[in-house]
Structure 1
């Protein structure tokens, strides 16, 4: 899950208001939301949180309680959040095939051609390559084709009060979604947006880049210059906002995302290399000492690296040396599989665009 996730919330941070009309129109253009059965008005814990949010955010208590009270429990959402059974084998090739496919690549070429000027400006102003921005929006929503069909208020309420207890981090995730629900309620009230009009993912992520409410507040930008932010109907705002998110999360302009690795390690060396997971920790020289040599340009890389393992089911895993920019992509979604899919989709779209010229 996104972390993004990740659409009208920057108004709280920078004073720019989203277009209520545009958001409402884009919401109406999508199919009707999935609906549950249990109104949260009947839940004492929901009404108590509503009172707490109203006090913290200086919002009208009756409005917060009435809004949250109309949210509905969505029974499919906890099921979607439940992690795969322990021992389920990860498979990079299978994961990759979900995102790097002809349909998504063709859509990416059209998106890049249509918004080439905005992508070039984002790359120039933020230092984030167009390929990465195109990769993110393609993986997240197929360039706006699949932005989610759940009412955001329902998804966030369900995950705030009925997060699956089988999840190993249930308590922490519950608190996270309650904070996102608070951001969402604050946004919609202060921006005069109907909180029931916005649709998104089952986790409450919104718009072309699937920003979570807190990400929208902090990092969404008015990149098309029309004095409001709309990550649903303005691909240009989405492009600038994705780039701004990456800069805020440690993206270093001009740095590669990863390098190939040649391995000749002992089990002890491999264990040491994999211990930091995907956090860049080792110099190229230290990696070589531990039996993971980064050839070519990687040997001269100026900065820490991580040995990233991508399992392939029963086949041999893929290993790469991830840089700080690879790690920055995982701040959008905490997965090395996700990050490499974003990179390779962007590369595939770029290559197809070049071939079509």
Structure 2
């Protein structure tokens, strides 16, 4: 991180630092204490506040001008953000360690703790889940699966201050990331969206806690998703994705509808592959549904359980199980539908989508549905 000396600060930045040192603003003592820690880790020195960064203050002025916000308020908000030392490292892609393993991935999310918590969540929100399905067409098990995979129904919503995470990824995104420029631009927009949301709703930008990437609440919405898709589903006049399970349910359902969820369509079909299946052709589009059922079958992939008469496109989805040369580690295959693809708009991973589906199904089974 590039730090600047106090002598290099503008007068406005100095006034921002004075406000911070004086403890100005509506923050509680506990919030002030959190701002001194990087992701719950070691204490952070004062010269790591973004008020000391010329680039951060220029960004604040530009944001305020473009969004019509009070420049002092924006400078104060960004100036109080703290560089989180570990966050840039967490954004780097993991080193390649061989084939993916669906069974291992699944075991992280399909466990007795999540299933029991999912049963409780479904039982206390049964009417709201039914209302969401009626209004948006998204079945309860998909919403339950999402909230369970994301945060274990609110048990793990993240302990990073959102303002710190977004500022770190805006001004100190790791340059060695293969898509550093595009990803940094993404987080710059998310920081803008977050501050605009706070200003519009009266939310204290110093208070929200979330993931190391700035995702918020039970459904882990990024600020842009909150702005576009979050809704007041409990009718109390405000949107609260931390404390209102009704708002969470309605917002997740609204998100899926916006991305093209089709009511009544399965998410996938089991598939049987012929020995001469055209695997390179079938796998080329990855998880994007690209083949009619007739074309799918002609290339050697037979969708089962009614998939041959499916009324949309299909994708052959491969789920690896480790080293395929080891007996028992052969990949699994499914025929993914457009609704399967919609789930991957929440997280661009077929393994994630299958975990959401399987967790929702396991919770439904535990409830006898």
Moved more, 166-175 or 333-342: 166-175
Matched, 1:323 2:332: no
| C-alpha distance in structure 2 between counterparts of 1:346 and 1:208, whole Å | 16
1:42 shift after superposition: 1.8
| C-alpha distance in structure 1 between counterparts of 2:95 and 2:146, whole Å | 27
1:193 shift after superposition: 1.5
| C-alpha distance in structure 1 between counterparts of 2:180 and 2:276, whole Å | 37
| C-alpha distance in structure 2 between counterparts of 1:98 and 1:341, whole Å | 9
Larger radius of gyration: 2
- CA-to-aligned-CA distance 1:60-91 (integer Å, 9 cap, x gap): 11111121011011011112111111354211
Indicate if the aligned counterparts of 2:270 and 2:305 stay in contact, CA closer than 8 A: no
2:15 corresponds to which residue?
none
Question: What is the alpha-carbon root mean square deviation over aligned residues?
Answer: 1.9
Structure 2 stretches lacking a partner, 5+ long: 1-26, 39-43, 324-328
- The verdict on how the C-alpha distance between 1:164 and 1:49 changes in structure 2, with shifts beyond 3 A counting, is same
3-state secondary structure, aligned to 1:50: helix
1:284 corresponds to which residue?
293
Q: How does 1:89-100 map to 2 (within 5 A)?
A: 89-100=99-110
Matched, 1:69 2:79: yes
- The verdict on how the C-alpha distance between 1:100 and 1:51 changes in structure 2, with shifts beyond 3 A counting, is same
Indicate if the aligned counterparts of 1:147 and 1:201 stay in contact, CA closer than 8 A: yes
3-state secondary structure, aligned to 1:343: helix
3-state secondary structure, aligned to 1:319: strand
Matched, 1:303 2:312: yes
In the superposition, the TM-score normalised over structure 1's length comes to: 0.89
| C-alpha distance in structure 1 between counterparts of 2:251 and 2:52, whole Å | 38
| C-alpha distance in structure 2 between counterparts of 1:300 and 1:234, whole Å | 40
Indicate if the aligned counterparts of 2:159 and 2:209 stay in contact, CA closer than 8 A: yes
1:53 corresponds to which residue?
63
Aligned counterpart for 1:332 among listed residues 330, 343, 346: 346
Aligned counterpart for 1:198 among listed residues 201, 208, 212: 208
1:189 corresponds to which residue?
199
Higher relative contact order (CA 8 A, sep 6+): 1
Matched, 1:347 2:357: no
1:7 corresponds to which residue?
none
Structure 1 runs of 4+ with >6 Å offset: none
Indicate if the aligned counterparts of 1:221 and 1:229 stay in contact, CA closer than 8 A: yes
Matched, 1:119 2:129: yes
Indicate if the aligned counterparts of 1:96 and 1:341 stay in contact, CA closer than 8 A: yes
1:32 shift after superposition: 4.7
Q: How does 1:7-46 map to 2 (within 5 A)?
A: 32=34, 34-35=37-38, 36-37=44-45, 38-46=48-56
In the superposition, the TM-score normalised over structure 2's length comes to: 0.86
Matched, 1:135 2:156: no
1:266 shift after superposition: 4.5
1:124 shift after superposition: 1.1
2:94 corresponds to which residue?
84
| C-alpha distance in structure 2 between counterparts of 1:178 and 1:88, whole Å | 33
- CA-to-aligned-CA distance 1:17-62 (integer Å, 9 cap, x gap): xxxxxxx99xx79x95743441111222211211111111001111
2:243 corresponds to which residue?
233
Matched, 1:180 2:194: no
Indicate if the aligned counterparts of 1:32 and 1:149 stay in contact, CA closer than 8 A: no
Moved more, 52-61 or 87-96: 87-96
